[in-house]
A and B are shown apart, each in its own frame.
Chain A
Amino acid sequence: MSMSYAYVAVVAALLSGLLPLLWPRNGMAVKMTAFPLLGISGLAGVISGVTALAGGKGGRDILPVGLPWLNCHLRLDALSGFFLAVVSLVALVAAIYGPAYVREYEEGPQPLLPLTLFTGLFVAGMDIVLLAADAFSFMIGWEMMSVTSYFLVAYQHQHEVNRQAAFIYLLMAQVGGLFILLGYGVLAGFGQGFDFTHMARAQLSDGWSTVAFLLAFIGFGMKAGVVPLHVWLPQAHPVAPSHVSALMSGVMLKVAVYGFIRFTYHLLGGIHWQWGALALFVGSSSAVLGVLYALMQHDLKRLLAYHSVENIGIIYIGLGLSMIFAGTGHPALAALGLVAALYHCLNHALFKSLLFFGAGVILQQSHEHDLEKMGGLIRRLPVTATCFLIGCISISALPPFNGFVSEWLTFQTALQGPVLTNNILAALIPVAAAVLALTGALAAACFVKVYGVCFLGLPRSENCASARETGQGPLLGQILLALLCLFFGVLPSWTVGRLEHVARLFFPGGMPETTAHGWLWLTPVAPHVASYGAPMVLLGVGLAWLLSWLWVHPRRRKTPVRIGSAWDCGFGPLNARMQYTATAFTMPIRRIFRPVWPIEESFQESATGSPGGRYRLKIGDWAWLKFYEPIGRLLLAGARRLAMIQGGNIRTYLAYSFFTLLVLLLVVSL
């Protein structure tokens, strides 16, 4: 049942890409076939995933395609069902959002066709990765996902930035793919087969399983964007069209997390706590560095991309805790950590897509990338502003929205640290929790900056002063996601109960008591240990609001609100340049965490001697300077050395061939 819906999802996504090829010149027809089919794919995927997750029948299947001795194995269980539902949900909303959004590109230099073609194939690729049950199908889906998203990043290739971002993305995707392939190679070598059932049965020595783990950790981490493998992410996300950014950031990174979970928990098994410690360390660094780099960004979509690094870090903190508990023999707590990580996957997919959709509307309507040129948009785009606010609150992990629930679950997992007998681990886990707290607080600061500078205050440019709300599709998509953010924040018990089915795949006992008090309360460990009644919180806020309003209301009638001008210290009217900018807002944080960023700062006084001058501030990324540029320089220098043997002289080449032949003969004769 759920398997057939999954097929519908894959086929509809493929058709959504391929069908418009029949009428390439008719932009309207392209749109009208591609997006509805993408929507069908999303809907079918959600149904399929939710039924598989909710304990309904998943399924497995062997398709008569592929290599002669290896058919295509497919399988849908609770884990892939969950991720399929997440991917498809965002694809569905992207299909609602897309048609009105791509109108801008119809008049652009590129035809619409490549965009819809590669979006369809991209979604199909992600679906295939999630359904695959052998390494070949997995890698085919994986490469399909990587390559098609390369074309999506490079869509507006007339800009040099886009070409460069796309190249770096492709390069890192391929290197990551290579690591994953090697990881599967190790498993296949020991398991005598390429399908997952054989691989899961492989008996590996500790050394080899650690090698396989590290290969997968690097490979999937590169796609997921953990520090320091994240550098493609802030380059690629901003340049892609916004609904594609939402899919890439909100969903594709989750597919990498899926791959990591599938590889480590299912195929590798026998988790060592040292792996968990590594994941915890990398996750904590990603979380805090991601948010600190995000704080310094002024390009809205680039900022959101850095927040993906942060959120992937939070997911890895949950996974790391889960792996530590799994490796030290506490399966119930390991299940709790896994559920926390999965819940954050869902939440991040929802609020990050919401924010990217909002950013898309802002970009389209105001034609500004730069936060410093926005302002006052809440009056011009009221619906987008409301939805964006909900996204900001959710991503800052504030109750009663969804981001808070998963962070709270992660905190609860971390607090169980003292059950470990290893004192060093027990002391390190709370430090990771403190890092998580720092991350949450900095994220809140960052989104106060984003919302305050972008939507509040006075407009800083003509474009922003004249922006207008978009069509219904984009608004509907945003409203849908905003409502889902509230829903998953207020009613977490149901979701946690379903996610437990995933955890039961690996830890048969499942979690401790999830919902001892019924659906109103979430009690992950035990009711007396910790409880969170999200519906009660919403009710309580509403009640307190009502009471304070009733208290105030009679006075409201007596003295109505007077509209006056803002207090300007008696110096004449305020203008938009007097308000705090994004740079100014983050100055204290920049100063406090100074060593985190490579900063170039300069002030040039104006030549004429009149007051004022030019202030320049450039904030880089250490990962580039210290990690990638040396590698790049090394590669270039090596290539130059090698180029010396390529003289263009045919006699030299013949000599090379002759000597090669000689050496080969020598080797063969030995």
Chain B
Amino acid sequence: MKGWVLAIIQTGLLVFGAPFLTGWVKWIKCKLQSRQGPPPWQPYRDLVRLFGKEVVVAESASPIFRIAPYVVFSITALACSVVPMVAIGLPTAAIADVIVLVGFFALGRFFLALAGMDVGTAFGGMGSSREMTIASLAEPAMLMGVFTLAMTVHSTNLATMIGYLIAQPFQLYPSFVFAAMGLVLVAVAETGRIPVDNPATHLELTMVHEAMILEYSGRHLALMEWGAMLKLMIYSVLLVNLFCPWGVANDFTPLPLLLGLAVITGKLLLLGTALAVAETGLAKMRLFRVPQYLGLAFILCLLGMLSHVILEVN
């Protein structure tokens, strides 16, 4: 019972903490660019504002257009419930392993892309086309990276993976280094950050995610935006907890839990800072450079896999 309560609290933390992470990245980025910048809690204000606004739906829109925000948000929120953030061993972790998690993202993306094509504008179709193209290259790289980890720890269950890594004495596996590099590249592509996509622009040449949700307004837009923030949060938590698992609580007593919360907050803020630095230093790529970028991610993950099979299996 205690486990379920903790699982719900942890899901809530992920869902309601996600806007802060997005705001944090933006705030740091503004500081780096010598701009005033909105405070890190600005995304909460934006969401509240959007939820209060009137919804305008195009007359050519079908029910898919109205269903999609709910599907995208609820499937991403469900994904939050299976990601070990503060503690491992929660009962929800058994619902889905990391392959199912990839499946959740794919389902959300499927509806997002359909919603983009629904109204029948050229922008929406363009965004959907680009999104599905990028995703079809990112997904194999992602799974390859995940498989590298899964083979080392003999499990695809996220909680088991993290638990195994905490229990091990620190050891630098070459396969992990490659997989980490590959997965970082994939995470950047999947969450629509620079250099693959730019969440801050509305230029038709550059946008992917924004093009799909261009027709949305009011609470629909709020759910879509929140879903995107959740995705960034999930990928960040996964990266920091898989590759630096220290501090994740192993049992459900208050002290480790509080410690775990403090540690994950610190790790996320650090990662957010690193992301902001990277986004400040890099320029957006052309769309047809993205396959090379994701090809690199795939090769890195493949190298990780091969080095595991050749060097680490005894």
Instruction: Identify B144's interface contact among A396, A430, A517, A530, CB under 8 A.
Output: A430
Asked if B78 lies at the interface with its beta carbon under 8 angstroms from chain A, I say: yes
Instruction: Identify A441's interface contact among B57, B114, B140, CB under 8 A.
Output: B140
Q: Which chain A residue shows the least CB distance to B144? A: A434
Instruction: Identify B96's interface contact among A447, A533, A584, CB under 8 A.
Output: A533
CB neighbours (8 Å) of A167 from chain B are none
Cα distance A274–B107 in the bound complex, in angstroms: 36
Asked if A634 lies at the interface with its beta carbon under 8 angstroms from chain B, I say: no
Q: B114 near A452 (CB under 8 angstroms)?
A: yes
Q: A453 near B117 (CB under 8 angstroms)?
A: yes
Cα distance A433–B144 in the bound complex, in angstroms: 8
Cα distance A437–B73 in the bound complex, in angstroms: 24
Cα distance A540–B107 in the bound complex, in angstroms: 14
Q: A541 near B78 (CB under 8 angstroms)?
A: yes
Q: A566 near B58 (CB under 8 angstroms)?
A: yes
Question: How near does chain A come to B106, taking the closest CB pair, in angstroms?
Answer: 5
**Interface 9-residue window, one of A58-66, A99-107, A490-498, A556-564:** A556-564
Q: A529-B155, A567-B214 are in contact. Are A456 and B106 (CB under 8 A)?
A: no
Asked if A423 lies at the interface with its beta carbon under 8 angstroms from chain B, I say: yes
Question: How near does chain B come to A263, taking the closest CB pair, in angstroms?
Answer: 32
Cα distance A562–B55 in the bound complex, in angstroms: 6
Q: A589 near B136 (CB under 8 angstroms)?
A: yes
CB neighbours (8 Å) of B155 from chain A are 528-530
Asked if B160 lies at the interface with its beta carbon under 8 angstroms from chain A, I say: yes
**Interface 9-residue window, one of A78-86, A317-325, A409-417:** A409-417
Q: Which chain A residue shows the least CB distance to B126? A: A580
List residues of B (42-71) whose CB comes within 8 Å of A's CBs: 51-64, 66, 70-71
CB neighbours (8 Å) of A126 from chain B are none
CB neighbours (8 Å) of B95 from chain A are 531-533, 536-537, 540
**Interface 9-residue window, one of B251-259, B266-274, B304-312:** B304-312
Question: How near does chain A come to B201, taking the closest CB pair, in angstroms?
Answer: 16
Cα distance A529–B287 in the bound complex, in angstroms: 38
Question: How near does chain B come to A585, taking the closest CB pair, in angstroms?
Answer: 5
Cα distance A544–B133 in the bound complex, in angstroms: 28
Interface centre among A404, A552, A564, A565 (most CB of B within 10 A): A552
Q: A418 near B151 (CB under 8 angstroms)?
A: yes
CB neighbours (8 Å) of A457 from chain B are 60, 117-120, 125
Asked if A637 lies at the interface with its beta carbon under 8 angstroms from chain B, I say: no
Q: A552-B219, A589-B136 are in contact. Are A452 and B125 (CB under 8 A)?
A: yes
Question: How near does chain B come to A241, taking the closest CB pair, in angstroms?
Answer: 29
CB neighbours (8 Å) of B124 from chain A are 580
Q: A532 near B96 (CB under 8 angstroms)?
A: yes
Cα distance A433–B122 in the bound complex, in angstroms: 35
Asked if B103 lies at the interface with its beta carbon under 8 angstroms from chain A, I say: yes
Cα distance A517–B95 in the bound complex, in angstroms: 11
List residues of B (239-279) whose CB comes within 8 Å of A's CBs: none
Cα distance A376–B147 in the bound complex, in angstroms: 41
Number of interface residues of B (CB under 8 A): 85
Instruction: Identify B156's interface contact among A437, A527, A530, A541, CB under 8 A.
Output: A530
Q: Which chain A residue shows the least CB distance to B139? A: A441
Q: Which chain B residue shows the least CB distance to A412? A: B156
Question: How near does chain B come to A513, taking the closest CB pair, in angstroms?
Answer: 13
Cα distance A245–B130 in the bound complex, in angstroms: 32
Q: B73 near A452 (CB under 8 angstroms)?
A: no
List residues of A (120-163) whose CB comes within 8 Å of B's CBs: none
Instruction: Identify B143's interface contact among A434, A536, A562, A564, CB under 8 A.
Output: A434
Asked if A588 lies at the interface with its beta carbon under 8 angstroms from chain B, I say: yes
Q: Which chain A residue shows the least CB distance to B135? A: A441
**Interface 9-residue window, one of A20-28, A174-182, A297-305, A571-579:** A571-579
Question: How near does chain A come to B314, taking the closest CB pair, in angstroms?
Answer: 10
Q: A559 near B139 (CB under 8 angstroms)?
A: no
Binary CB contact string for chain A from 361 to 400 against chain B (1 if under 8 A, 0 otherwise): 0000000000000011011000000000100010011110
Asked if B77 lies at the interface with its beta carbon under 8 angstroms from chain A, I say: yes
Cα distance A398–B207 in the bound complex, in angstroms: 26
Binary CB contact string for chain A from 41 to 82 against chain B (1 if under 8 A, 0 otherwise): 000000000000000000000000000000000000000000
Cα distance A576–B120 in the bound complex, in angstroms: 7
Cα distance A46–B72 in the bound complex, in angstroms: 38
Q: B309 near A427 (CB under 8 angstroms)?
A: yes
Cα distance A109–B156 in the bound complex, in angstroms: 58
Q: Which chain B residue shows the least CB distance to A451? A: B114
Q: B103 near A404 (CB under 8 angstroms)?
A: yes
Q: B74 near A545 (CB under 8 angstroms)?
A: yes
CB neighbours (8 Å) of A445 from chain B are 132-133, 135-136
Q: A565 near B140 (CB under 8 angstroms)?
A: no
Question: How near does chain A come to B304, taking the closest CB pair, in angstroms?
Answer: 10
Instruction: Identify A456's interface contact among B118, B219, B302, CB under 8 A.
Output: B118
Q: A415 near B74 (CB under 8 angstroms)?
A: no
Asked if B3 lies at the interface with its beta carbon under 8 angstroms from chain A, I say: no
Interface centre among A393, A427, A579 (most CB of B within 10 A): A579
Asked if B213 lies at the interface with its beta carbon under 8 angstroms from chain A, I say: no
Q: A529 near B128 (CB under 8 angstroms)?
A: no
CB neighbours (8 Å) of A458 from chain B are 60, 120
Question: How near does chain B come to A413, taking the closest CB pair, in angstroms?
Answer: 12
Question: How near does chain A come to B263, taking the closest CB pair, in angstroms?
Answer: 24
Asked if B18 lies at the interface with its beta carbon under 8 angstroms from chain A, I say: no
List residues of B (111-158) whose CB comes within 8 Å of A's CBs: 113-114, 116-122, 124-126, 128-130, 132-133, 135-140, 142-144, 147, 150-151, 154-157
Q: B106 near A580 (CB under 8 angstroms)?
A: no
Q: A404-B103, A426-B313, A562-B56 are in contact. Are A555 and B121 (CB under 8 A)?
A: no
Q: A437 near B151 (CB under 8 angstroms)?
A: no
Asked if B75 lies at the interface with its beta carbon under 8 angstroms from chain A, I say: yes
Binary CB contact string for chain A from 566 to 600 against chain B (1 if under 8 A, 0 otherwise): 11100000101011100011111101100000000
Cα distance A544–B113 in the bound complex, in angstroms: 21
CB neighbours (8 Å) of A440 from chain B are 106, 139
Question: How near does chain B come to A614, taking the closest CB pair, in angstroms?
Answer: 21
Instruction: Identify B160's interface contact among A427, A528, A540, CB under 8 A.
Output: A528
Cα distance A584–B74 in the bound complex, in angstroms: 30
Binary CB contact string for chain A from 426 to 447 against chain B (1 if under 8 A, 0 otherwise): 1100110111011011101101
Cα distance A588–B129 in the bound complex, in angstroms: 8
Cα distance A592–B60 in the bound complex, in angstroms: 32
Q: A423-B309, A434-B302, A559-B54 are in contact. Are A537 and B139 (CB under 8 A)?
A: no
Q: Which chain B residue shows the least CB distance to A579? A: B120
Question: How near does chain A come to B159, taking the closest CB pair, in angstroms?
Answer: 9
CB neighbours (8 Å) of B313 from chain A are 418, 423, 426
Asked if B81 lies at the interface with its beta carbon under 8 angstroms from chain A, I say: yes
Cα distance A75–B140 in the bound complex, in angstroms: 43
Asked if A656 lies at the interface with its beta carbon under 8 angstroms from chain B, I say: no
Beyond the given A521-B94, A565-B58, could you list 19 further A-B residue pairs with CB under 8 A, ordered by the A residue number? Answer: A376-B60, A398-B107, A408-B100, A437-B142, A441-B138, A441-B140, A447-B110, A448-B110, A448-B132, A452-B116, A455-B62, A532-B95, A537-B78, A562-B55, A563-B59, A564-B58, A564-B59, A568-B121, A580-B122
Q: Which 4 pairs between the two chains have the least Cβ-Cβ distance?
A: A580-B125, A452-B117, A544-B74, A457-B120
Q: List 21 A-B contacts (CB under 8 A).
A: A393-B107, A396-B110, A404-B100, A408-B100, A445-B132, A448-B117, A452-B113, A457-B117, A457-B119, A458-B120, A521-B94, A529-B156, A544-B75, A547-B74, A548-B70, A566-B120, A566-B215, A579-B120, A579-B125, A580-B125, A580-B126
Which A residues form the contact surface with B (CB < 8 A)? 375-376, 378-379, 389, 393, 396-399, 404, 408, 411-412, 414-415, 417-418, 423, 426-427, 430-431, 433-435, 437-438, 440-442, 444-445, 447-449, 451-453, 455-458, 517, 521, 527-533, 536-537, 540-541, 544-545, 547-549, 552, 555-556, 559, 561-568, 574, 576, 578-580, 584-589, 591-592
Which B residues form the contact surface with A (CB < 8 A)? 51-64, 66, 70-71, 73-75, 77-78, 81, 94-97, 99-100, 103-104, 106-107, 109-110, 113-114, 116-122, 124-126, 128-130, 132-133, 135-140, 142-144, 147, 150-151, 154-157, 160, 214-215, 218-219, 223, 287-288, 291, 298, 302, 305-306, 308-310, 313
